[in-house]
Copies of this chain bind each other. A is one copy, B any other.
């Protein structure tokens, strides 16, 4: 694959998606995020909501995921993972772009010329951001964040066998709460 790709992994509420979109705009390349879920829905037959909620956050701990559903072969998560793998490879093959989430960093690791990015922020700043972006919910913001973080880390570790948020897995990790969304996007543009 000859296209240069930016992959963005991010903590929930860190603004990683916005940073990806801004960097892509500055560079004049597309940014794939929700589009991947739409492609996944089309190819897999699962609904977008199911893919967004279940496939991403389903693992209730790696051990449970390993033992619970596999007696009957592949789980839904495994099937979605396989299709997601193909979709991400096809996107990277077809054009230079930014890809947000969905373990694209791992999937493209040895296949494409990637700038691997991790975006994080402290939990208070993320709490403030999710309330502003998604509104209040029954569950308190800090609890929502802890849940999402836990599930993302478990999902990432299960499918990639790597530690989520370990600096050494990425070319650059940025604290968007400290550095700001705009400057993060600017740095990515420069590095690309």
Task: Give A residues with C-beta under 8 Å from B.
Answer: 11, 118, 120, 122, 165-168, 170-175, 178-179, 183, 187, 190-191
State whether A167 touches B173 (Cβ < 8 A): yes
Report whether A174 and B175 are in contact in the complex, using a CB–CB cutoff of 8 Å.
no
Determine the distance from Cα of A168 to Cα of B122 in the docked complex, in whole angstroms: 8
Q: A172 to B174, Cβ gap below 8 A?
A: yes
* Given known A183-B191, A187-B187, contact A168–B165 (CB-CB < 8 A): yes
Copies of this chain in its oligomeric complex: 2
Given known A187-B187, A191-B179, contact A170–B167 (CB-CB < 8 A): yes
Cβ-defined contact, B172 with A175, below 8 A: yes
Closest B residue to A183 by beta carbon equals B191
A160 to chain B, nearest CB (A): 15
By a CB distance below 8 angstroms, the chain B residues around A175 are 168, 170-172
Question: Which residue, of A120, A170, A173, A190, has the highest number of chain B Cβ atoms within 10 A?
Answer: A173
Whole-angstrom distance from the CB of A92 to the nearest CB of chain B?
18
Q: Tell me if B178 and A171 are in contact (CB < 8 A).
A: yes
**Roughly how many angstroms separate A171 CA and B183 CA in the complex, as a whole number?**
13
Q: How far is the CA of A92 from the CA of B45 in the complex (A)?
A: 59
* Alpha-carbon distance between A20 and B16 when the two chains are bound, in angstroms: 27
Ordered by A's residue number, 11 sampled pairs between the chains whose C-beta atoms are within 8 Å are: A118-B173, A122-B168, A166-B167, A167-B173, A170-B173, A171-B175, A172-B172, A172-B173, A179-B191, A187-B187, A187-B191
By a CB distance below 8 angstroms, the chain B residues around A191 are 179, 183, 187
From residue A168, how far is it (CB to closest CB) to chain B in Å? 5
The contact of A173 among B11, B173, B178, B187, by CB within 8 Å, is: B173
- Central interface residue in A174, A183, A190, by most chain B CB within 10 Å: A174
| Minimum CB–CB distance for A181 against chain B, Å | 14
Instruction: Point out the residues of chain B lying under 8 angstroms from A187, CB to CB.
Output: 187, 190-191
